[in-house]
Amino acid sequence: MRKTELLIPAGSLEVLKIAVLYGADAVYIGGEAFGLRAKAQNFSLEEMGEGIRFAHSRGVKVYVTANILAHNRDLAGVEEYFRELKELGPDALIISDPGVFLIARRVLPGMEIHISTQANNTNYQTYRFWWELGAKRVVCARELSLEEIKEIRENIPREMEIESFIHGAMCISYSGRCLLSNFLAGRDANQGSCTHPCRWQYSLSEETRPGEYFPVFENERGTFIFNSKDLCMIEHIPELMEAGIDSFKIEGRMKTALYVAVTARTYRKAIDDFNQDPEVYRKNLGWYKEEIGKCTCRQFSTGFYFGKPGKAGQIYENSTYIKNYTYLGTVEEVSRDGLCRIEQKNKFSVGDVIQVMKPDGRNLAATVKGIFNEDGKAQESAPHAKQALWVDLGAELSQYDILRCRGDR
């Protein structure tokens, strides 16, 4: 059986470290330019270098995205960027544009190249095309079924790798190549600046009735014509492996450390359990499903894997996210007297019962016994985002533990 890679997103150095420690085999990141997540914090070259060293010291690979659809004005900058990356030593580049591909092959001749889903990779001849040009891996278009992926696997070189998204947000446009954002907001999704207009609420107007707006009904319950559910394949690890997918990819370079920790830890355990014994995997399905719901998400579906989504693949009631747990912070340091230092992300108070999430799979209940600012002054609550705090939880804590609490705040 082919070894399955778990590929986790990271939009910042902090989140990269969480991805590595919570179960990633590889992490994909973006620099400050030429990746498709302009709103993510992204990495400076210094942060990228630190992140690559951190990951490599723990046996984890790092892939760098450069998957914009480039214009002429981008090309000189791309070449300079690749020359800078050469010194940092990432394990692969993720590219969609043929022109950018040619620059990478010339500037970084020994670099492994992965072809992004943005390149619309829907058939085995496309895979062969990229293989013959020197690509090691191709990322499946999101529109492919498992049967189509199996057929691709059977018709490409055995050494060639298939990567496929198994969890996260779904774009309404063909493999994410969306024109709506540019048209409606002047922000080009193919240059990394998507405003997610597919999540907006729409009405119709008729030219002879200016000012009159009619809601768009697909059934009696709602008006949200673009709202796709999130992809979640935690219940279908056996089918994904049987299809011959080499890398299981989680979407979400703009997501929080909590999202990354939850998805990495849950899918890590599911993959390892199945490899150990399929029966162990089946017995633990309830735990996987419960855990994967503890990060912010939309309702879940299986996307296109088992056929074209119908009404069940869309959300008609509203356009909001489900938030079963709230991210409070990541433990940055533990003092000799047991206090943990965090940068607070959401409000919590003395007396709150919270949960400590650990990389090894444990979830520990803890009560907030005290909150102190950096000067040691006690406070009853932590209402200010990004405030540096010392917190007394009276629990066993380690650096990089995640603090979360039930519900939305």
Q: Which helix (H) or strand (E) holds 54?
A: helix 45-56
pLDDT greater than 90 at residue 140: yes
* pLDDT value, residue 169: 82
* pLDDT value, residue 232: 94
Structure tokens belonging to residue 249: 């990819």
Phi, psi (5° rounding) for residue 4?
A: -95, 130
DSSP 8-state class, residue 192: T
Q: Is 289 exposed, middle or buried (0-12, 13-18, 19+ CB in 10 A)?
A: middle
Q: Are residues 254 and 124 both part of a single domain? A: yes
Query: How many domains does the chain contain in total?
Result: 3
Structural domain of residue 364, as residue ranges?
A: 325-406
Q: Are residues 84 and 210 both part of a single domain? A: no
pLDDT greater than 70 at residue 255: yes
Q: Are residues 28 and 75 both part of a single domain? A: yes
Q: Are residues 347 and 299 both part of a single domain? A: no
Report the candidate in 168, 56, 177, 41 with the shortest Cα–Cα distance to residue 116: 177
Cα 50-52-58 angle, rounded to 5 deg: 105
Q: What is the pTM for the complete model shown?
A: 0.85
* pLDDT value, residue 224: 42
* pLDDT value, residue 204: 61
Domain membership of residue 396 (yes or no) is: yes
